[in-house]
Structure 1
Amino acid sequence: MSTKVHRHKKRGGHEEEAHDGERWLVTYADMLTVLVGLFIVMFAMSQVDQTKFNALKSSLSIAFGQPAVTFTAPGSAVAGDAGGGESAPLDLSSVVGKGADGEAEQQARAAMAALDRAKASARAKNAAAEVEKFERIRKKIQEALREQNAEDGVQFRIDERGLVVTVVTSSVVFGNNSAELLRDGRKIVDAIAPALRTEKNSVEVDGHTNWLPVTSGPYPSNWELSTARASTVVRRLVARGIPAKRLNASGYAEQRPLYPDTDPRSVSLNRRVEVVVLSDLDAATKALLPSAAGQSAATS
């Protein structure tokens, strides 16, 4: 006598079997999946961002002028190429502000301070080199003036703009209320021109007057008179071979005096034309020029 085993079937023809005793496997598999995902996330968070370290390496190498260093992990480094091509300079402040731990933050701040010191040192060296160039120009002009017996009417100084060659516009340089260069004035400008021809710096010519008002002549005020005198000097420099595109003329009337009106020297010494050999350095480095000039004078 045969026994038939009847099995229930789901709709669609598939057999339904009871597996109630194996349901714990599903929960166990879910737990393992979650753990594996957690370990993957933790592993990813523990890895050093090599791109940022390479960028940091590139920035510091440029700043200090040292060979490139490849950072392989916090606190360790290997000399040589980073192997990632050129990297954009890294903003170290972003490293400090993105949840870095205390040690990493201190290292980043130390690197920022070192970078600032390197920049300051580079600016100081550039300013000193610029002063040396201006001193060379000054000596050339002085030699030319000495040959013309005209050095007494010219003074030199270095400020944030560059080398300032001051021509006192006495009666031997310009006539009273006049913008026409007299014979001695032409000799002075002609002595200045050769030293400027061989340089590439732009040159600004500034006209200044004293506080006394204009009472005669073709110019209604000191503004027109100071500008006309500066323009006359510019035209003379162009005629002596200085490219016009390097030159600029400005008039300041009595608004930028060297001496206050109460000083007896103001009448004669505020009346001047300044030929300024402009520095082409950045603003932060140009601000160091006066101190660099002082140091140069102290050591010479």
Structure 2
Amino acid sequence: MRKSRRKFDEEHEDHIDETWLIPYSDLLTLLLALFIVLFAASSINKSKYEAIMESFKSELTGTQVQNEQVGLSPSPTTTKQQKNAPVPVVQPETKTKDVELDKLKQKLEQYIEKNHLHATVTLQESKRGVEVSLKDVILFDPGKADLKKSSFKTLNDIVGLIRTVSNPISIEGHTDNVPIGNAAFVSNWELSSARAVSVLHFFESKKVSDKRLQFSGYGEYKPLYPNDTKEHRQANRRVNIVVLRNN
């Protein structure tokens, strides 16, 4: 009996459960790998380091990490491409001037100077383009919208200069604030619009493309000066020919 028990004890000691060694060795392996990776990570960038840590988190917790950067080292091809990629140069925003409009303005200035038209024709450059302003006395009789024959030469010369560019043209009629007193026009709206249309038709008759032309009638609502004197009211009665900038 004693002999049998000793034999049982010896067999029991020979078969001690050693299955705990497997996870222990796996843990040691993972820890060793972790320290190696941390050492290697000291020379890589922050984003790659975070990707490596996410990868280990995935392995230890069993969760899937959606990250294109997961891995210990970047692709050699990608790294080479990044090193050789040219650095983008940010070009400063430059305001380009419309050379053709500048030349047109110079020609119009010379024309006004040569023909002594300063009293009736003025010129200015704005954000919209080049604006030629003609007082109504050079174009129309009072209260009328038919062009005077004496205006044809001046208009024809201006059209000839404007035809050297291809920009769109806006023709805009303006009046003073004195109510219109004839049966032809109900208000200054109609008078200013009719005058703008008359100038537009003249441009059209000189072979200016219809697609370039547009008109507006502003009546008394865009005056240059207060309508408090005869001279101011006369300056407010005008037709503007605006050579617009190309968008």
TM-score by length of 2: 0.69
| Residue 136 of structure 1, CA deviation | 2.2
Q: 1:58 to 1:181 in 2, by over 3 A?
A: same
The aligned amino acid for 1:45 is K
1:229 equivalenced with 2:230 (yes/no)? no
Structure 1 residues 57 and 219, CA gap change in structure 2 (3 angstroms) = farther
Structure 2 match to 1:273? 239
Return the letter of the residue paired with 1:279: R
Write the letter of the residue equivalent to 2:87.
Answer: K
Aligned length: 205
User: Residues 239 and 55 of structure 1: is their aligned pair in 2 closer, same or farther, counting only changes over 3 Å?
Assistant: farther
Return closer, same or farther for 1:254/1:206 CA change in 2, 3 Å cut-off: same
Q: 2:101·2:165 contact (CA, 8 Å) conserved in 1?
A: no
Matched residues, percent identical?
A: 25
Aligned to 1:160: 127
Matches for 1:172-191 after TM superposition, within 5 Å: 172-191=138-157
Aligned alpha-carbon RMSD (Å): 3.6
- Deviation of 1:138 after TM superposition, in Å, equals 3.0
Structure 1 residue 33, shift from structure 2 partner:
3.8
In the TM superposition, what is the alpha-carbon distance from 1:30 to its structure 2 partner? 2.0
* Counterpart mapping for 1:13-32 below 5 A: 19=18, 22-23=21-22, 24-32=24-32
Instruction: Work out the CA distance in 1 between the residues paired with 2:85 and 2:193.
Output: 52
Determine the structure 2 residue equivalent to 1:94.
Answer: none
Residue matched to 1:140? 107
- The alignment status of 1:239 with 2:198, answered yes or no, reads no
Give unpaired runs (5+ residues) of structure 1: 1-6, 9-15, 64-117, 282-300
For residues 207 and 27 of structure 1, what CA distance do their matches in structure 2 show? 90
Structure 2 CA distance for partners of 1:26 and 1:144, relative to 1, 3 Å: closer
Contact 1:145 1:188 in 2 (8 A): no
Q: Which 5+ residue runs of structure 2 have no aligned equivalent?
A: 1-10, 49-73
Closer, same or farther: CA 161–36 of 1 in aligned 2, 3 Å: same
Q: Is the contact made by 1:223 and 1:251 (CA closer than 8 Å) also made in structure 2?
A: yes
Q: 2 CA distance for matches of 1:262 and 1:18?
A: 114
Q: How does 1:115-154 map to 2 (within 5 A)?
A: 118-119=92-93, 122-123=94-95, 126=96, 129-130=97-98, 133-142=100-109, 152-154=119-121
1:55/1:219 Cα in 2 relative to 1: closer, same or farther (>3 Å)? farther
TM-superposed CA distance for 1:59, in Å, is 4.6
| Aligned match of 2:71 | none
Q: TM-score, normalised by structure 1?
A: 0.58
Tell me the amino acid that sits aligned with residue 275 of structure 1: I
The offset of 1:264, in angstroms, is 3.9
Paired residue secondary structure (2:147): coil
Counterpart CA distance in 1 for 2:177 and 2:20 is 109
Task: Please state how far the C-alpha of 1:180 moved relative to its aligned partner.
Answer: 0.4
> After superposition, what is the alpha-carbon deviation per residue over 1:132-191, rounded to whole angstroms, capped at 9, x for unaligned?
543421343355567777564211011121110001011x41122111000122222111
Residue type of the partner of 1:29? Answer: T
Q: Counterparts of 2:162 and 2:153 in 1: how far apart (Å)?
A: 15
Larger radius of gyration: 2
Specify the SS of the correspondent of 2:185. coil
In the superposition, relative to structure 1, how do residues 57 and 264 fare at CA in structure 2: closer, same or farther (>3 Å)?
farther
Report what 2:88 is aligned to: 58
Shift in CA distance, 21/204, structure 1 to aligned 2, threshold 3 Å: closer
Give the Cα separation in 2 of the matches to 1:242 and 1:226: 22
Q: Is the 8 A contact 1:156 1:165 kept in 2?
A: yes
Partners of 1:178 and 1:217 within 8 A in 2:
no
| Partner Cα distance (2:21, 2:213) in 1 | 94
